[in-house]
C-alpha cells in the first residue's frame, strides 16, 4: 500500500481526525442495545484513541481495528497494552474501501473521524 504525506502530517498526534474520548463515549452510549461480547469493526482507526476507549467502556467486546498505515496499528497495540485492553483488540492492515471481512461479521461498525475519507454515502454502503 502506498504511503502518503498525510501520515507525516499526523505523525505524533494522539488522533488522526476530529473527536475526543468524551465524544466517543457519548456516541457509544447512544446505541440503544449492543449485546455483551459484541464484535466491533473500527474502520480507519489511526493510532486507536477511540479504539482503546471503546475497549475500556464496552465490557468484553472485541474490536477489530483497521487502518492502511502499519505504524499507526503498531502504536495502537503498544498503547492498548499499556491500558490493559490489548487482549480484546486485533489489528488488520487494509484499505477501508477493500475490507477483507464477510457481510454481517460484526455487530457494530465504527468509523469515527474516518468516513469522510471515502464520503458518507459511499461509506454507508
Whole-prediction pTM: 0.81
Cell of 34: 449492543
106 in any annotated domain: yes
Residue 15: inside a domain: no
E-only strand ranges, 1-125:
39-43, 62-67, 89-93, 108-110
Indicate the number of domains in the chain: 1
pLDDT digits 0-9 by tens, 6-22:
555 455 545 555 567 78
Mean pLDDT, rounded, for 98-117: 86
**For cell 505523525, what's the residue?**
11
**What's 72's domain CATH number?**
3.40.50.150
Question: Residue 100's domain spans which residues?
Answer: 36-124
Interacting residues of 58 by C-beta distance below 8 A, sequence separation 6+ = 28, 34, 38, 40
State pLDDT tens for residues 44-97. 998 999 999 999 999 889 999 999 999 999 999 999 999 999 999 999 999 988
Amino acid at each position: 500500500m502506498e504511503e502518503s504525506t498525510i501520515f507525516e502530517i499526523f505523525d505524533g498526534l494522539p488522533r488522526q481526525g476530529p473527536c475526543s474520548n468524551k465524544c466517543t463515549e457519548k456516541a457509544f452510549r447512544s446505541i440503544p442495545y449492543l449485546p455483551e461480547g459484541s464484535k466491533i469493526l473500527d474502520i480507519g482507526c489511526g493510532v486507536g484513541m477511540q479504539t482503546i476507549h471503546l475497549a475500556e467502556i464496552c465490557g468484553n467486546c472485541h474490536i477489530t481495528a483497521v487502518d492502511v498505515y502499519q505504524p499507526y496499528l503498531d502504536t495502537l497495540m503498544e498503547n492498548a497494552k499499556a491500558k490493559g485492553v490489548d487482549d480484546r483488540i486485533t489489528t488488520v492492515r487494509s484499505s477501508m474501501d477493500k475490507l477483507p471481512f464477510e457481510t454481517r461479521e460484526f455487530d457494530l461498525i465504527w468509523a469515527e473521524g474516518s468516513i469522510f475519507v471515502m464520503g458518507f454515502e459511499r461509506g454507508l454502503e
